[in-house]
């Protein structure tokens, strides 16, 4: 039991240290992660570089692949781009294994002590974040030492040694063991850490270490597969590409490249099994990438065959995904895009409602009612996402942006509500065959055109952070207010002179009231843009 407790405690420290180091590095990187992702093009080689770089920061290929699934699910990354990033992630995850084999655990307490001292006494935010990363780095090695100390008594257990040796004689068992460990701890880096701890204590030969390493490589795909459950088809295909790539690479090495791999690692690091495992890990993933990268398009085709069908992103959630919350700066960008998407969906609802009114078109009215339900669903999901984002490690400035977005989605949702009100009035007009004078219809169309122009400009100002356009929206809102008062007075005069049917008159007044309220919400969105620009100028 002492061995089990020691191993669990050491693994816990290892995982905690890795998480602290990853969090510190991500904080220090900040918006640079967003820039790294934005470098992505259809060029798969760039994708490989970005995947390796991001994984070096987040310290887990599983975490990077989960992020990739999130980006693909949110429409921020194409599947062809994801292929290169997934391959690069496998390379990036080998960096931790290489660092571990330098055996600097005896310096770990000193590293932690100095880093904690810096963290406590510095006021510089960047230095504090880097100190946090070094604290995690030191704890990671302390965890490795705990695992090594816990495993040391097993040196005298012949049965345990025989079990590990059997993994080399029966490679399928070794692969299964590596797979099972990785699935259990949900981290290929942690699994590799356990394998290296065994090697450092002289408990495992390289012939057994490689099959376990192959199994770890396959096991790391399970996290991405689990992450893709509930995601769209394209995200599922990204997870499938990861599985296909890792399994294909493992089969290539087992069947064709295992002997050359043994020879290379023996030449590079003879007699040093931990170093051989780390080198094998790196060579394995680099070689797989070099061989399979040209066939990235084929991997995508196979994934599409496995998961057939097409997506419909026309109106539902397009850009937000909880997996992206791991990188808050990118999550914020996706939330802004989703807010704009919600705004355009509400615009569709508004246009259908007024078209249904002017043309007596039942299909437009029904479509407005359908879209309004989507607007409400978008508002609920986006609001929940923004609350989660606000609780991540984001800057005070970004938190202000999140607060502004929460107000904006409320304004957009109210635009959808007013569109629904107009659709209900259109339904009443159709059902009761009400007629309006040509002048009344002309006035409504003029006001509607001005209101839709203001709302469209508000969304464009938000997309481009355009202050001058935002001011134009506020100016339009003033004109709409004046028009609403004028049209109301004119229409009451027509009613008094019996030039209009009373039933039609009430609907006219309700419509101009709803249009005026939509203009108010457009002005609110524009004001939020001006507040955002003001906040940016302060920083």
Q: What is the CATH number of the domain that holds 458?
A: 1.20.58.220
For the chain, what percentages of helix, strand and coil (3-state, to nearest 5) are there?
Answer: 85, 0, 15
Residues 176 and 203 in one domain: yes
In a domain, 148, yes or no: yes
The last residue of one of the domains, among 280, 306, 332, is: 306
Number of domains in the chain: 2
Residues 88 and 197 in one domain: yes
Helices (H), 201-272: 206-219, 221-228, 233-252, 258-268
Looking only at Cα atoms, what is the longest distance across the chain? 107
The last residue of one of the domains, among 248, 276, 306, is: 306
Question: How does residue 183 score in pLDDT terms, banded at 50, 70 and 90?
Answer: confident
* Lookup: tokens for 494: 């027509």
Beta carbons of 481 and 502 less than 8 angstroms apart = no
Residues 292 and 331 in one domain: no
Residues 221 and 327 in one domain: no
pLDDT for the residue 331: 83
Beta carbons of 241 and 86 less than 8 angstroms apart = yes
Residues 66 and 100 in one domain: yes
Residue 112 has pLDDT above 60, yes or no: yes
pLDDT for the residue 459: 95
pLDDT for the residue 185: 74
Q: How far apart are CA 172 and CA 218, in angstroms?
A: 12
In a domain, 144, yes or no: yes
Residues 346 and 209 in one domain: no
Residues 48 and 120 in one domain: yes
Residue 473 has pLDDT above 90, yes or no: yes
pLDDT for the residue 502: 62
Question: How does residue 309 score in pLDDT terms, banded at 50, 70 and 90?
Answer: low
Residue (of 236, 274, 245, 199) closest to 79 by Cα position: 236
Buried b (16+ CB within 10 A) or exposed e, 287-318: bbbeebbeebeebbebbbeebeeeeeeebebb
Residues 186 and 84 in one domain: yes
In a domain, 317, yes or no: no
pLDDT for the residue 329: 77
In a domain, 314, yes or no: no
Helical pair 233-252 and 79-92, crossing angle rounded to 10 deg: 50
The last residue of one of the domains, among 274, 306, 338, is: 306
Residues 404 and 483 in one domain: yes
pLDDT for the residue 125: 76
| 38-59 average pLDDT score | 71
Q: How far apart are CA 471 and CA 489, in angstroms?
A: 28
Residue 539 has pLDDT above 60, yes or no: no
Q: Which range marks the domain in which residue 54 is found?
A: 2-306
In a domain, 315, yes or no: no
Q: How far apart are CA 134 and CA 24, in angstroms?
A: 8
In a domain, 91, yes or no: yes
Please tell me which residue, 304 or 420, carries the higher pLDDT value: 420
Q: Tell me: the pLDDT tens digits for 341-378?
A: 999 999 999 999 999 999 999 999 999 999 999 999 99
Q: What mean pLDDT, rounded, does the chain reach?
A: 83
Q: Which distant-in-sequence residues (6+ apart) come within 8 Å of 13 by Cβ? A: 139, 140, 142, 143, 146
Residues 32 and 159 in one domain: yes
In a domain, 313, yes or no: no
Residue 429 has pLDDT above 70, yes or no: yes
Residues 258 and 334 in one domain: no
Q: How far apart are CA 504 and CA 433, in angstroms?
A: 10
In a domain, 451, yes or no: yes
Residues 186 and 211 in one domain: yes
Buried b (16+ CB within 10 A) or exposed e, 66-83: bbbbbbbbbbbbbbbbbb
pLDDT for the residue 198: 82
Q: Tell me: the pLDDT tens digits for 495-521?
A: 676 666 666 778 888 999 999 999 999
Question: How does residue 62 score in pLDDT terms, banded at 50, 70 and 90?
Answer: low
């Amino acid at each position: 039991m002492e061995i089990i407790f020691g191993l669990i405690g050491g693994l816990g420290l290892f995982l905690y240290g890795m998480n602290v180091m990853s969090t510190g590095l991500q904080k220090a990187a900040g918006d640079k992660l967003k820039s790294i992702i934005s470098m992505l093009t259809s060029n798969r080689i760039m994708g490989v570089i970005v995947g390796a770089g991001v994984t070096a920061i987040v310290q887990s290929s599983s975490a990077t692949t989960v992020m990739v699934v999130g980006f693909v699910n949110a429409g921020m990354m194409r599947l062809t781009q994801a292929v290169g990033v997934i391959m690069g992630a496998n390379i990036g995850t080998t960096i931790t294994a290489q660092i571990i084999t330098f055996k600097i655990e005896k310096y770990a307490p000193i590293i932690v002590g100095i880093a904690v001292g810096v963290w406590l006494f510095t006021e510089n935010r960047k230095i504090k974040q880097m100190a946090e990363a070094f604290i995690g780095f030191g704890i990671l090695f302390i965890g490795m030492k705990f695992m090594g100390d816990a495993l040391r008594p097993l040196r005298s257990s012949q049965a345990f040694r025989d079990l590990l040796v059997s993994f080399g004689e029966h490679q399928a068992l070794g692969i299964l063991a590596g797979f099972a460990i990785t699935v259990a701890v949900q981290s290929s880096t942690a699994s590799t850490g356990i394998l290296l701890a065994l090697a450092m204590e002289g408990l495992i030969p390289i012939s057994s270490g490689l099959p376990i390493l192959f199994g770890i490589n396959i096991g790391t795909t399970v996290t991405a597969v689990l992450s893709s459950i509930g995601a769209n088809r394209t995200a599922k295909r990204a997870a499938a590409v990861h599985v296909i790539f890792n399994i294909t690479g493992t089969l290539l090495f087992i069947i064709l490249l295992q002997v050359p791999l043994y020879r290379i690692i023996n030449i590079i690091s003879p007699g040093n099994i931990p170093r051989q495992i780390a080198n094998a890990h790196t060579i394995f993933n680099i070689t797989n990438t070099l061989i399979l990268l040209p066939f990235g398009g084929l991997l995508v085709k196979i994934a599409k065959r496995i998961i057939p069908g097409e997506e419909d992103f026309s109106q539902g959630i397009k850009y937000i995904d909880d997996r992206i919350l791991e990188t808050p700066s990118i999550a914020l960008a996706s939330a802004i895009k989703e807010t704009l998407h919600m705004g355009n969906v509400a615009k569709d609802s508004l246009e259908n409602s007024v078209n249904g009114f002017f043309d007596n078109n039942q299909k437009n009215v029904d479509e407005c009612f359908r879209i309004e339900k989507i607007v409400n669903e978008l508002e609920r999901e986006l609001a929940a996402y923004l609350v989660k984002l606000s609780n991540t490690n984001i800057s005070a400035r970004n938190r202000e942006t999140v607060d502004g977005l929460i107000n904006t989605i409320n304004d957009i949702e109210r635009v959808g509500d007013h569109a629904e009100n107009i659709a209900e009035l259109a339904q009443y007009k159709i059902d009761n065959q009400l007629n309006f004078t040509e002048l009344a219809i002309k006035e409504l169309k003029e006001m509607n055109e001005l209101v839709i122009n203001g709302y469209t400009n508000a969304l464009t100002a938000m997309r481009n952070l355009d202050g001058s356009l935002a001011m134009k929206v506020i100016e339009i809102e003033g004109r709409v207010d004046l028009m609403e008062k004028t049209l109301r007075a004119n229409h009451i005069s027509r009613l008094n002179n019996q030039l209009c049917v009373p039933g039609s008159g009430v609907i006219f007044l309700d419509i101009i009231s709803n249009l005026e309220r939509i203009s108010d919400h457009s002005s609110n969105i524009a004001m939020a843009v001006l507040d955002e620009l003001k906040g940016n100028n302060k920083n």
